[in-house]
Structure formats: C-alpha cells, structure tokens
Amino acid sequence: MQRLLPLLLLIFLVQSCIPIRIAPSIEDYKVTRGKKFKRSLSKRQMFIFENPKDEHHFYDYVNTKYQLGHTNVYDDVPFEVDGTQYFFAWYEIEIQDKALNLGPSLFNAFMNELLDSDDDSYISGPDVILNGNWYIAVEVYSDTEKDCLQDSSLSKEQVLNYLRALKKEYLSTHNYNEVVFKN
C-alpha cells in the first residue's frame, strides 16, 4: 500500500492540468458593465455574447448589413427602433482559458532523478495551455441617452429586442450579402 500511494499520486499529477484562468461561459447573452467583463472596455452597460465564428466575421456582417463601406464600422453605427435613432459601438474580445500543464515537466524531472541524469527531456509539451474564447460586446447610445442599456434607460427593452434579433441574424447568416436583401 505504501508503494501504491506514491504511484497513484504520480499518475494523478502527470495527467493533471491546473486551470489558472477560466473564460466565462455565456449561454445566450449577458448585459453587464463592460469594465466588469474585461478591464479594457468602457464603464457602460454592454450586450455581450459568445462568438463561435472566426475573427473579423462580425466586422464583415456589420459592414455589409449597414452598408458602411469600411468606414466607422466599429463606432457610431446607426440604427433605428420605433422611429428613434440609436448608435452602437462593438468590440471583439478574446479571453483565454489558461491551464498549467504539469505532466511533461514532472515526468521529465522524475525520469532525470530515476536515471541520475540532467537536462534530458523525455516528453515535450507546453507548460501553459491556452485556449481562446471570443466574445462580441455591444454598447448602445443615442443623442438623448449616453447608455441605452442601463436599468434606468427608457429605451432598454426596445434596444435589447433589437440586439437579440441582431445576434440571432448574425449567428444564423453565413453569406452576409443576404442581410442586405432582407432589409
């Protein structure tokens, strides 16, 4: 039993990855302060959802849908809800899962100790495993309101309905030229 316990412990450590940082999992969408989600964002309330598509697809979608001609695609994108003009700005954010991979380094140290050698690498592998998760964060404002997603905003529900429809259309559309003909 005394020899079995260190062996089981060694097998457990070799197979283990210790998570250092875990990216948030968002099922549908989340409305939260931007700075709370990622420090580089503004303090305004943001509509945030996971982006399963490749990087820059949302840029292409917004540019095509609103026919912007590659100008002001990230900021001041105009849209109308019930005859009222609003603007949105969006951010493509990457938050990485980070895990410490103990397996290769522990195995190499164990084998070096066992064989009484130095600097031999029997198994190679990254010490830190990174896995990127992409999100789209959208903030909405108008000429009369600085933050249309705040709880006290009069237009919050209409804007949320618009953003839900926008997200659904973006995720279901593969050829972004289709959205021009829908409008």
Q: Is 171 domain-assigned? A: yes
Which phi and psi angles does 139 have, rounded to 5°?
A: -110, 145
Name the DSSP class of 124.
Answer: -
Q: Is 121 domain-assigned? A: no
Q: Is 2 domain-assigned? A: no
In this prediction, residue 175 carries a pLDDT of 78
Q: Is 163 domain-assigned? A: yes
| Tens place of pLDDT per residue across the chain (183 aa) | 667 667 766 666 556 677 778 888 899 999 999 999 999 999 999 999 999 998 889 999 999 999 898 888 999 999 999 999 999 999 999 999 888 777 777 777 777 777 777 766 666 767 777 788 999 999 999 999 999 999 999 999 999 999 999 999 999 988 777 666 665
In this prediction, residue 77 carries a pLDDT of 93
Question: Exposed, middle or buried by CB within 10 Å (0-12, 13-18, 19+), for 86?
Answer: buried
- CA 121 to chain centroid, in Å, comes to 35
**Number of domain units in the chain:** 1
Which phi and psi angles does 66 have, rounded to 5°?
A: -95, 5
Q: Is 37 domain-assigned? A: yes
In this prediction, residue 11 carries a pLDDT of 66
CA distance 71 to 77: 10
Q: Is 124 domain-assigned? A: no
CA distance 24 to 143: 33
Q: Is 8 domain-assigned? A: no
Name the DSSP class of 117.
Answer: -
In this prediction, residue 130 carries a pLDDT of 78
Domain that holds residue 40: 21-99+131-182
Give the pTM.
Answer: 0.79
Q: Is 119 domain-assigned? A: no
In this prediction, residue 101 carries a pLDDT of 76
How far CA 166 is from CA of 15, 68, 108, 140, in Å, comes to 43, 16, 51, 13
